[in-house]
Amino acid sequence: MSKEPSTNLESAMQMLIKTFHKYSGKEGDKYTLSRGELRELLTEELGNYLGNAQDKDAVERVMNDLDSNNDGEVDFTEFIILMGALTVACNDFFLDSPAPKKADGKAGGDEKKE
Amino acid sequence: MSKEPSTNLESAMQMLIKTFHKYSGKEGDKYTLSRGELRELLTEELGNYLGNAQDKDAVERVMNDLDSNNDGEVDFTEFIILMGALTVACNDFFLDSPAPKKADGKAGGDEKKE
């Protein structure tokens, strides 16, 4: 870990690793996220993308989807699968929106033909 | 896309998306990486991790592994699967090495018991 990341991709990989361990180390097994740690991570780090992660049900659903071995913990591989799926969804969203749209309830509705 | 990413995870997602499109847009289908584009991306963006990506065979192997639908192109989802696998491998590597090791051919070999 002596080298600093020198490209955007290397930084992205380091950020994913560091963010996971920032939360996974808080309680219990320090290499996995408990429900509480997952909730904190989703709320604090992905608030913009997952607006309603505060919603208890949403965290419960994400946890159940991710926790493929049903141990109530999300390990790093499961976390990376979530991040991959979110990134693909995010990419698709931008590809599907050729022009920037307003995000405040008027998406796509403010175009006028003349 | 009006909001700047405000957390490390959001930045990581944006970097993955931007880096892919920086290379995918160079030739042919602008939403997929050709062999040439993949080689450029691996060499320029992941040189530290994949030391021998200049090696033609290595690029060929990565391409064959990733290109699950055999069209000679790597799409964004295939790219994210590669990045996920690399990030998991990278995380495992750091977890397996409690102390920093020298990377220049002496890994683990310079420890002395006294």
**Alpha-carbon distance B70 to B56, whole Å?**
18
Predicted confidence at residue A8, as pLDDT, reads: 92
Chain A residues in contact with B88 (beta carbon < 8 A)? 76-77, 80
Which segment of A26-35, A51-60, B75-84 scores lowest on mean pLDDT? A51-60
Rounded mean pLDDT of A30-55?
Answer: 82
Predicted confidence at residue B15, as pLDDT, reads: 96
Residue pair A9/B47 in contact (Cβ under 8 Å)? The answer is no
**Closest Cα of chain A to B23: distance in Å?**
12
What does each of the 114 residues of chain B score in pLDDT, given as a tens digit? Answer: 445 778 999 999 999 999 999 999 999 999 999 988 998 998 899 877 776 545 667 777 777 888 777 788 999 999 999 999 999 998 988 787 665 444 444 444 444 443
pLDDT in tens, A91-110: 988 787 665 444 444 444 44
**Domains of chain A in sequence order:** 26-96 (1.10.238.10)
Predicted confidence at residue A6, as pLDDT, reads: 83
Residue A29, chain B, CB below 8 Å: the answer is no
Q: At A54, is the pLDDT very low, low, confident or very high (cuts 50, 70, 90)? A: low
Contacts of B43 (CB under 8 A, 6+ apart): B53, B54
Q: Report residue A80 as tokens.
A: 């990376």
Percent over 90 (pLDDT), chain A: 43
Report which of residues B56 and A42 the model is more confident about: A42
3-state secondary structure at position B74 = strand
Q: Report residue B37 as tokens.
A: 């584009």
Predicted confidence at residue B55, as pLDDT, reads: 64
Q: Report residue A70 as tokens.
A: 């049903």
Report which of residues A111 and B69 the model is more confident about: B69
Rounded to 10 deg, the angle between the B8-24 and A76-96 helix axes is 60
Residue A87, chain B, CB below 8 Å: the answer is yes
Q: Hey, are the CB atoms on A6 and B94 less than 8 Å from each other?
A: no
Residue pair A42/A50 in contact (Cβ under 8 Å)? The answer is yes
Predicted confidence at residue A114, as pLDDT, reads: 38
